[in-house]
Amino acid sequence: MTGTTLSPRPSPNNNREPKSLKSTRHFLEYIFCNLLLVLVQPLPHQMVVRTGNVLGSRVFLFSGKRKRSAKTNLDIIFSDSKSSDEKNKIIKKSFQNLTVSALQCLWATRDTEKRVRGLIEGEPAGLDILRQCLKKNKGIFFLTAHYGNWEIMGLLHGYMGICPLSSIVRKLDNPYLDKVTKNFRTLSGNKIFDRNESPLKIVRELKNNSSVAVMMDQNTAKGGIFVDFFGKKAATPRSLALLSYRLGTPILPLFCHPTDKGTYRIEYGPQIQFERSDSKENDILKWTQQYELFIENVIRKNPAPWMCGHRRWKTRPPEEKGTLIY
């Protein structure tokens, strides 16, 4: 398995960015985002896609840290089954997908419902499974990942009006962009919960037979459990399995699959079924492992739409203390 070295952890960086410079940078990023918004909104969709692909190619060429992280991740996922050139093509396509998705979100701030619906090919698959799960009256957990255009997927669900949706998110470092992003994510009536908020809010939504989307493909620095992700231990939230165990809430995968036209196919399901044993902790571990296995299979079939630059394996289990992946 490549991408792992043994060495002591570096000491904390004392040369942190001064607060005044950080605030200035955040404001300039906000201005740049608004400039992009003005430029992108009037464009036809295919021009948005072409522009995103060009910008994504530039990001691939000049992105050092993220590209190295992505290469390490693909080394873990595919080992020697794919060549270096094949892995670089996946990384480039992943960066292009992210850039296209970001521009589509800016583009969709005008005539939002019309444009969001226009980005989706046909009716989402698995709506019958979704409705069957809702009949249990225990809410729904959507198991999902940073794959395809997850922001547009969330907005579409809100516009369909089948059941309310809440998403658990991490607060952005840039407060200006954090506010803009939250406003965008709630345009179709969805709710946003910070991942540090009380789980009682989530429980309340589920008891009202609403849905809660949980991204399960990123590193959990604190409070997670270690399960295999592509054969390597990865720190993963335990809250999804824990709440499903306590409340009996169904787990339904929800994924957004890109097409060659810059549009997407949405798929609900199939429902992930579990059996309980005599050990709650063993069940939580086993269920969480099953969630990760499902995401694994989605990525294996088509890795390019996955946000592969995230340092998924950064946090190591106690028995690997001192091991650095990135």
Q: Provide the pLDDT for residue 156.
A: 98
Backbone angles phi, psi at 168, to 5 degrees: -95, 120
Q: Provide the pLDDT for residue 20.
A: 80
Mean pLDDT of the chain: 94
Q: Provide the pLDDT for residue 6.
A: 36
The backbone region for 231, taken as left when phi is positive above 0, alpha when psi lies in -120 to 50, beta otherwise, is left
Distance of alpha carbon 124 from alpha carbon 269, whole angstroms: 11
**For residue 3, is pLDDT > 80?**
no
Q: What average pLDDT score do residues 182-210 get?
A: 94
DSSP string, 170-221: PPPSSHHHHHHHHHHHTTTS-EEEETTS-HHHHHHHHHTT-EEEEE-SS--S
Over residues 301-321, the pLDDT tens digits come to: 999 999 999 999 999 999 999
Over residues 83-96, the pLDDT tens digits come to: 999 999 999 999 99
Per-residue pLDDT band for 15 (boundaries 50, 70, 90) equals low
Respond yes or no on whether the N-terminal peptide bond of residue 317 is cis (omega within 30° of 0).
no
Q: What average pLDDT score do residues 224-249 get?
A: 96
Distance of alpha carbon 115 from alpha carbon 42, whole angstroms: 12
Neighbours of 204 (CB within 10 A): 13
Distance of alpha carbon 174 from alpha carbon 181, whole angstroms: 10
More confidently predicted of 3 and 52? 52
Q: Provide the pLDDT for residue 198.
A: 84
**For residue 11, is pLDDT > 70?**
no
Residue percentage of the chain with pLDDT more than 70:
95
User: Residue 155 is which amino acid?
Assistant: L
Cα separation of the two ends of the chain: 13
Distances (CA, A) of 123 to 127, 143, 190, 265: 9, 20, 20, 8
Residues 6+ apart with CB under 8 A from 230: 76, 77, 296
Over residues 288-306, the pLDDT tens digits come to: 999 999 999 999 999 999 9
Q: Provide the pLDDT for residue 89.
A: 98
Q: Where are the beta strands (DSSP E) in 230-294?
A: 232-236, 251-258, 264-268
Give the β-pairing of 140-144 and 211-215: parallel
Q: What is the DSSP letter of 83?
A: -
Backbone angles phi, psi at 174, to 5 degrees: -85, 110
Distance of alpha carbon 104 from alpha carbon 258, whole angstroms: 13
The rounded Cα 309 to chain-centroid distance in angstroms is 12
Per-residue pLDDT band for 9 (boundaries 50, 70, 90) equals very low
The pTM (predicted TM-score) of the whole model is 0.92
Q: What average pLDDT score do residues 9-35 get?
A: 81
Per-residue pLDDT band for 10 (boundaries 50, 70, 90) equals very low
Q: Provide the pLDDT for residue 14.
A: 54
Residues recorded for the chain: 326
More confidently predicted of 18 and 183? 183
**For residue 4, is pLDDT > 70?**
no
**For residue 324, is pLDDT > 60?**
yes
Q: Provide the pLDDT for residue 196.
A: 82
The helix (run of H) or strand (run of E) holding residue 140 is strand 140-144
